[in-house]
Structure 1
């Protein structure tokens, strides 16, 4: 039986991944900074990637560690994420971990990457610095209830009668549903063929951001939205605009918007050989995200 540590166990992906790993037969440790508040499945363990001394106990006896850490809400996220990856690499090696699985970002290495995507690439390398084999899954936008990128799309469609958009809405991306991300993460755990590999994951469609918003509009409100394109809308201005019409803070919004001028398309489908199965279409992912949001709202009543 494989013992798996999930960092960020209470986050958007982690809280879905932990029960999926348990269902697959693994023993799971749910790593969080506040284990006393953790009410999900698995064994809660307290640790913080920014505190190297806290990681040793959490990683002792762990076979596979899944790294789901980022600091997009911090203006100094590149430095913070790099140091956190160094801390985790050393602690994992000292504990004898035999695989680290990391969810990174798509984007052509030969192209001009945004600070966000550059940071993801740097973390990929740093996690393997001390010799633990790393499996990287690179994804574009993950569609699911509670995901930041999806929430931006949902709230823009919901809150605006028409959208003023910059030119980057014509950039192509390859959205993937949260269910498929979890399925792929579970599928590469402790799999020898996945060690020291970079695998690209994406849904079946390549869409522009504009096409994604229009599909979301039709599914959620039953009609397409009027779109007004403007020639200049800088990332800074876009982030302030997002902060006004959504609940996403300006720092996180700007870090994400910086990446939206970069085409993020999967060019390698070898993940499907390791983890068979057809990924869900974007429209179905949107429906599932909206349904989960409705159920969550009803549960809170």
Structure 2
């Protein structure tokens, strides 16, 4: 088992991943800025990605850094860049100086792919995002790839499950962004995000950028329905039909098979 530093441990993904890492026997440190309720067996380590000096104690002696922390629910673009790019830079610097042998696993986003792509996004595709969140994550990916550390990057889609409330957030987004009911998105359950992190901890994904997604993309209409909302019908044409879609072939070629193959399976098993 490994000593793991987890950033973003109290977020949507981190709060589900953290207890799984503990249950698997890892010695898990959670980087927190203040008081945080953590599961038994996890250790809170005070630190701030904006404060390089505070990261030394957090990284010393770790085998793996799993960097989930990200910032995007704001209109403050400068804050997004500071958190996602500068924060990653500070963490990489600390690992290089104090734990250069550690693996560095970073989660990124499928939003880096261009909206007008001609098929589901592949890891080798050129990406030219303009919005602050995906652009800052893509820039952070480059820092990781050029860090000289042993690294892997996991591009996550819409992550859901285990009562996290994410599906319930879809209906308000339909009105806010004018989402087409027929638009499909790649998704992944928390169980499978954890399974991919497990592969990264083992070194299976070293030196790779991989798309994480289950077997069946899901429409906005279906996501809203699962959240208890029926959307109105429309005959309007669908624009940019591949936006939000990711090709998970590379991860399958590396041996990954999702435990939760679709949202429909999750609904049947009561794990939404």
TM range (shorter): 0.7 to 0.9
Tell me if structure 2 keeps the 8 A contact 1:176–1:203.
yes
The Cα of 1:6 is off from its aligned counterpart by 0.6
Per-residue CA distance 1:194-246 (angstroms, 9 max, x = gap): 111011110111233234324x15xx47xx44346889xxxxxxxxxxxxxxx
Which residue matches 1:103? 107
Q: Partner of 1:194: helix, strand, or coil?
A: coil
Which among 200, 213, 237 is matched to residue 188 of structure 1? 200
Is the helix fraction higher in 1 or 2? Answer: 1
**Whole-angstrom distance in 2 between the partners of 1:164 and 1:50:** 31
The Cα of 1:273 is off from its aligned counterpart by 4.8
Which residue matches 2:56? 56
Which residue matches 1:172? 184
- How many residues are treated as equivalent by the alignment? 251
Which residue matches 2:244? 264
Tell me if structure 1 keeps the 8 A contact 2:160–2:187.
yes
The Cα of 1:150 is off from its aligned counterpart by 2.5
**Whole-angstrom distance in 1 between the partners of 2:70 and 2:176:** 30
Tell me if structure 2 keeps the 8 A contact 1:143–1:150.
yes
Tell me if structure 2 keeps the 8 A contact 1:165–1:229.
no
**Whole-angstrom distance in 1 between the partners of 2:183 and 2:126:** 17
Structure 1 pair 112/60, CA: closer, same or farther in 2 (3 Å)? closer
Q: How does 1:18-167 map to 2 (within 5 A)?
A: 18-34=18-34, 36-41=35-40, 42-74=42-74, 75-76=76-77, 77-97=80-100, 98-106=102-110, 107=113, 108=121, 109-110=125-126, 112-115=128-131, 116-145=133-162, 147=164, 149-153=166-170, 156=172, 166=178
Give runs of ≥4 in structure 1 deviating > 6 Å: none
Structure 1 residues not aligned, in runs of 5+: 232-259, 293-301
**Whole-angstrom distance in 2 between the partners of 1:78 and 1:286:** 36
**Whole-angstrom distance in 1 between the partners of 2:176 and 2:69:** 32
Of residues 5-14 and 105-114 in structure 1, the stretch that sits farther from structure 2 once superposed is 105-114
**Whole-angstrom distance in 1 between the partners of 2:140 and 2:37:** 27
Per-residue CA distance 1:230-268 (angstroms, 9 max, x = gap): 89xxxxxxxxxxxxxxxxxxxxxxxxxxxx987132324
Per-residue CA distance 1:102-145 (angstroms, 9 max, x = gap): 11112244355352222221111123443212211112111125
Q: Partner of 1:55: helix, strand, or coil?
A: helix
Which among 283, 296, 299 is matched to residue 264 of structure 2? 283
Which among 226, 237, 243 is matched to residue 232 of structure 2? 226
Per-residue CA distance 1:4-48 (angstroms, 9 max, x = gap): 1111112211122122112223211111112x4433231111111
Per-residue CA distance 1:271-291 (angstroms, 9 max, x = gap): 235454334211233566x76
Tell me if structure 2 keeps the 8 A contact 1:101–1:135.
yes
Structure 1 pair 166/147, CA: closer, same or farther in 2 (3 Å)? same
Structure 1 pair 32/87, CA: closer, same or farther in 2 (3 Å)? same
Matched, 1:200 2:231: no
CA RMSD of aligned residues (A): 3.1
Which residue matches 1:252? none
Which residue matches 1:9? 9
